[in-house]
């Protein structure tokens, strides 16, 4: 399946406030400048690091990207 990281991560929306993956996904959804069609780790990681949003920490991005890689890449 040819799916972007953004579309994959959206599947985590709707969890509780204690679910960091859900918090990340919700913040990503509300970020209109997030690279929605991107699949490459380096590009996405650079965006996350430059944005430095407390609700999208790089450690959670790394966890989500590992799950994304296992499933789609």
**How sure is the predictor about 52, in pLDDT bands with cuts at 50, 70 and 90?**
confident
Residue 49 has pLDDT above 60, yes or no: yes
Residue 1 has pLDDT above 80, yes or no: no
Q: Which domain holds residue 16?
A: 5-72
The token pair at 38 is 């991107």
The token pair at 17 is 């406030």
Pairwise CA distance, residues 70 & 35, whole Å: 20
Residue 48 has pLDDT above 70, yes or no: yes
CATH assignment of the domain containing 19: 1.10.150.260
| Mean pLDDT for all residues in the chain | 94
pLDDT digits (tens, 9 = 90+) for 22-44: 999 999 999 999 999 999 999 99
The total number of structural domains that make up the chain: 1
């Amino acid at each position: 399946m040819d799916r972007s990281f953004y579309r994959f991560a959206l599947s985590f929306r709707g969890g509780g406030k204690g679910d960091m993956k859900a918090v990340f996904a919700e913040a990503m959804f509300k970020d209109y400048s997030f690279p929605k069609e991107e699949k490459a780790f380096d590009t996405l990681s650079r965006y996350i690091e430059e944005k430095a949003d407390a609700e999208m920490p790089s450690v959670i991005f790394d966890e989500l990207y590992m799950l994304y890689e296992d499933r789609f890449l």
